[in-house]
Structure 1
Amino acid sequence: MKIVLSGFYGLGNTGDEAILEAIIDNLRLDLDNPDITVLSYSPSETSAEHNVNSIYRGWRRENKEKIQALRKADLLISGGGGLLQDAYPTRFLFGPLPYYLLVVLLAKLCGTKVMFFSQGVGPVTSTWGKILMRLLANRADFITVRDQYSKELLHKLKVNRPKSVVTADIVFGYHKKEDHTCINSLPLKGDERLVAVSVRSRFGYTEHYYKLAEALDELIETDHITPVFVPMEGHHDVEASNEVLNRMKHRDACYLLGGNFTPNQYLNFFSKCEMTIGLRLHSLIFSALEGIPHIGISYDRKVENLLKRTEMWEYSFTLEGIDVDKLKKNARYILSNRKELSAITKKNAMIMRDEALDNIDLLKKHFTK
């Protein structure tokens, strides 16, 4: 089976690279020698990392190669991840939402079937975005989404041909390989209470940097934690992490991992932590996979949706609603009740793992003979 993958690949985002790896690993596990081509911003790196064909994803070059690949393909997989959204400015043919839908249109013009795969949809608020969704997303042959909110939003956007099926983020189907490069990069003594911290910027909003710094400083003083900042999107998250560190009294008690580790290396690191405090969705998914209790800071509906499913929402906050005193209180509760909360997290992660693998089963059902 010849498959083309379209997503936010080759741009250094750990979550999206984990999605890509999880899709490829599971396709190879369940299909007979699939021929996979990935549309990537860094095609040579993607080819070397995953042993796949890869084509430059942008429109500036290799468009002939895109058309050739799609004409030969049996299926375009669009996803997973939050591709269909206009949180970033969307204009005529510009922005993430038009890009991914134009790839879908190109596939259909080439006679190729399309599956929206484990997608997180929204927000879609612009008039142009809504028009594009109604015109082009309805051309998909089958749709799976990673949460109920995405399914409901598709319905509101009049994307109902075909109906969507709710599964889970495909990263819950990730195949972990032992690799301790991350933790071995830190000069640890071995008795630290490691707390993973995932920070990102958010459209000029800075209040969360101050609040996280204040909470972490006190937890270092009173609970003797060792915060380790995990940059899930390269230099962008390194910069955001430093925004917090620069506001801390006890920054010397913290560590900042490098921004160029692989998803698998980061996942192995999370397994060594007692707790996670995170903004990045996939820092929380990695934590759930390893049974690590977590406090999420929700900057988007997708984060809140996940936290409700892992049963960690009651300990978590919206980005604008962080209460420093409550954050410290919740962190202490989690640290004191870690065993119980870890069991809850693992149970929910296993449910979502089964649902994530439904994406592959549904692909086989609808697109293989």
Structure 2
Amino acid sequence: MGKMRAVLCGYYGKGNGGDEALLASLLQMLPSHVTPVVLSGNPKQTRNRYKVESCDRMAPAQIWQALRRADVLIWGGGSLMQDATSAASPFYYGGLMGLAQQLGLKTVAWAQGVGPLQRHLTRAIAQRVFAGCSAVSVRDRASAALLLNWQIPCWLAPDPVWALDAIPVKGLWDLPAPRVAVTLRSHPQLTPARLDSLTRALVNFQKATQTCILLVPFQKSQDLAIAQSIQSQMSDASHIISLEDPRQLKGLFRGVEMAIGMRLHSLIMAAAEECRCFALSYDPKVSQLMAELEMPGWDLDRIPDDPNLICQSWLECYANGDALSPARIQSLVDRSLIHRDLLHQALSEGLGDRG
């Protein structure tokens, strides 16, 4: 079989551990006859980390050249087509997909989380570009329901990061045990008062459990300052662990007893490595994961004001909570490979097939 060139677009090279995990999962699942070219916010870093071709995601000339030399554009994964955090996202990805489709490239929407789409225009853009795709896979039922309402067929499977290969973190086992990982991110609903309550609860939780607290920024620009703020108030063992390789991020949770997390992929990684999890939801995608896995937690705007109540909930999860069973984890991993099957099916049909 001849070689096929695929341009990969997503929120890559922007320092977000979850999006990097999606890219690593996509590269892991690509058929061997496909040569990837990654649109990245940091092309040099992407080339060095993944040993792939990469170009600047915001450089029109480079994007144009990459598309003209490609056979397919793969758009994924994650919450790319949404206007909750930025109205610009649907225009960027919609424009890119529309250009690729006009050039006659095959377009594949992979492992998508669709929405929220609160504006009529962004919904119209989303509907049009999804309708023009050769194949679509989504990672949650709400996204599938929206596309089916638009009469766009799609494959539904758990997030592909369930199947991401994990690698060990050097020095992790030298840190005191037991360990609890905490991943918080900046958000309007994580007010200074709520962060103070969570921090005081974490201090009390550590005193009660004698655990080593690992503060894990998934995106330094949004998470590191919060981690530093929390650590400044911890009197016992705590460490800020910043990891660039998403496979190491997942591997970190192999050495952790419990995870307290806001970020979706921190919870997926932790659950996949048999950690007990407690979620703090800032987004429907996190709430959906909580419901699907029966994971304890709160929406951010419903966090108790009393740090003692927060601490008691965490102690209950730590002492009596259940991690996912190995059988259920394996089921989620196996079903997430549906995203791989979609790629193999969509990319096995004729090379250079410009419609």
TM over 0.5: yes
Aligned counterparts, 1:60-99, within 5 A:
61=59, 63-90=60-87, 95-99=88-92
Letter in structure 2 aligned against 1:64: A
Query: Which range moves more in the overlay, 204-213 or 351-360?
Result: 204-213
Alignment partner of 1:319 is 2:335:
no
**Alpha-carbon offset, residue 321 of structure 1:** 0.9
1:364 to 336, 340, 344: 344
Deviation digits for residues 264-313 of structure 1 (CA, Å, limit 9, x no counterpart): 2222221111100000111101101101010000111101111222221x
Which residue is 2:353 aligned to?
A: none
Deviation digits for residues 335-355 of structure 1 (CA, Å, limit 9, x no counterpart): 2235xx12x354433222112
Q: Helix, strand or coil: the match of 1:291?
A: coil
Letter in structure 1 aligned against 2:242: G
8 Å CA contact retained: 1:5, 1:37: yes
Which residue is 1:353 aligned to?
A: 333
Aligned counterparts, 1:154-165, within 5 A:
154-156=147-149, 158=150, 160=151, 162-165=152-155
Distance (whole Å) between structure 2 residues aligned to residue 345 and residue 330 of structure 1:
22
Which residue is 1:240 aligned to?
A: 226
Which residue is 2:44 aligned to?
A: 44
2:247 to 264, 279, 284: 264
Letter in structure 2 aligned against 1:40: S
Q: Flag structure 2 segments of 5+ consecutive residues without an equivalent.
A: 350-355
Q: Helix, strand or coil: the match of 1:125?
A: coil
Distance (whole Å) between structure 2 residues aligned to residue 292 and residue 86 of structure 1:
32
Which residue is 2:6 aligned to?
A: 3
8 Å CA contact retained: 2:181, 2:216: yes
Letter in structure 2 aligned against 1:305: Q
1:172 to 159, 162, 174: 162
8 Å CA contact retained: 2:243, 2:249: no
Aligned counterparts, 1:2-21, within 5 A:
2-21=5-24
Which residue is 2:313 aligned to?
A: 330
Distance (whole Å) between structure 2 residues aligned to residue 55 and residue 74 of structure 1:
16
2:178 to 178, 183, 193: 193
Distance (whole Å) between structure 1 residues aligned to residue 72 and residue 66 of structure 2:
10
Alignment partner of 1:225 is 2:194:
no
2:119 to 123, 126, 130: 126
**Alpha-carbon offset, residue 325 of structure 1:** 4.4
**Alpha-carbon offset, residue 146 of structure 1:** 0.3
Distance 1:145 1:292, change over 3 A: same
Which residue is 1:183 aligned to?
A: 172
Distance (whole Å) between structure 2 residues aligned to residue 113 and residue 33 of structure 1:
16
Distance (whole Å) between structure 2 residues aligned to residue 334 and residue 6 of structure 1:
38
Which residue is 1:273 aligned to?
A: 256
**TM-score, normalisation: structure 1:** 0.87
2:291 to 283, 287, 308: 308
Q: Helix, strand or coil: the match of 1:267?
A: helix
Letter in structure 2 aligned against 1:291: E
Distance (whole Å) between structure 2 residues aligned to residue 264 and residue 349 of structure 1:
17
Distance (whole Å) between structure 2 residues aligned to residue 325 and residue 171 of structure 1:
34
Distance (whole Å) between structure 2 residues aligned to residue 345 and residue 321 of structure 1:
29
8 Å CA contact retained: 1:234, 1:260: no
**Alpha-carbon offset, residue 225 of structure 1:** 2.2
Distance (whole Å) between structure 1 residues aligned to residue 116 and residue 131 of structure 2:
17
**TM-score, normalisation: structure 2:** 0.90
Distance (whole Å) between structure 2 residues aligned to residue 361 and residue 283 of structure 1:
25
Which residue is 1:33 aligned to?
A: 33
What's the C-alpha RMSD, in Å, of the aligned pairs? 2.0
Deviation digits for residues 78-122 of structure 1 (CA, Å, limit 9, x no counterpart): 0011111101242xxxx1121111110111011111111001111
**Alpha-carbon offset, residue 257 of structure 1:** 2.1
Q: Helix, strand or coil: the match of 1:8?
A: coil
Higher relative contact order (CA 8 A, sep 6+): 2
- Total equivalences in the alignment: 343
Alignment partner of 1:115 is 2:113:
no
Distance (whole Å) between structure 2 residues aligned to residue 259 and residue 219 of structure 1:
23
8 Å CA contact retained: 1:290, 1:346: no
Deviation digits for residues 167-211 of structure 1 (CA, Å, limit 9, x no counterpart): 12111110122x323626xx73x3x32110001011364143122
Distance 1:304 1:362, change over 3 A: same
Which residue is 1:209 aligned to?
A: 195
